[in-house]
């Protein structure tokens, strides 16, 4: 699963982007969360989900995603990390 977080005008430096108009991409494979590089809008490739606090029509037209979700991105990473940690803990105790 590939998840993109839209870098907004306020949070782009925290997310590692040079400026707004970038997407920070994460993948979930085998229960592990992997951080990919930050890419410009339009260069992301196919995403399963694009998440942003705000999203213009031009962004939606420039990013190929199955789901476009408007939400505060800061809690999303915490939720993803919690999901991955929960998956790892389940693997430890699974027999």
Give the model confidence (pLDDT) of 15-70 as tens digits: 656 666 788 888 988 878 888 888 888 899 999 988 887 788 888 899 999 988 88
Q: What is the pTM of this model?
A: 0.68
- Residue ranges making up the domain that contains 41: 2-93
Task: Note the pLDDT of residue 44.
Answer: 92
Nearest to 36 by CA among 61, 4, 62, 59: 4
Q: What is the CATH number of the domain that holds 73?
A: 3.30.420
Question: 25: number of CA atoms within 13 Å, CB side?
Answer: 20
Q: Count of domains in the chain? A: 1
The whole-number pLDDT of residue 95 equals: 47
- Write the DSSP assignment of 32-61 as a string of letters: EEEEEEEEETT-S--EEEEEESS--HHHHH
Query: 55 CB contacts (<8 Å, ≥6 apart)?
Result: 6, 68, 70
- Please report the pLDDT score of residue 71 as a whole number: 72
């Amino acid at each position: 699963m590939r998840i993109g977080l839209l870098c907004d005008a306020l949070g782009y430096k925290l997310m590692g982007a040079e400026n707004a108009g970038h997407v920070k991409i994460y993948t979930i494979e085998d229960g592990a969360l992997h951080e990919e590089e930050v890419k410009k809008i339009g260069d992301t490739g196919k995403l399963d989900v694009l998440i942003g606090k705000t999203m213009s029509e031009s962004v939606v037209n420039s990013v190929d995603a199955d789901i476009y979700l408007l939400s505060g991105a800061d809690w999303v990473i915490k939720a993803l990390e919690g999901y991955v940690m929960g998956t790892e803990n389940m693997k430890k105790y699974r027999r």
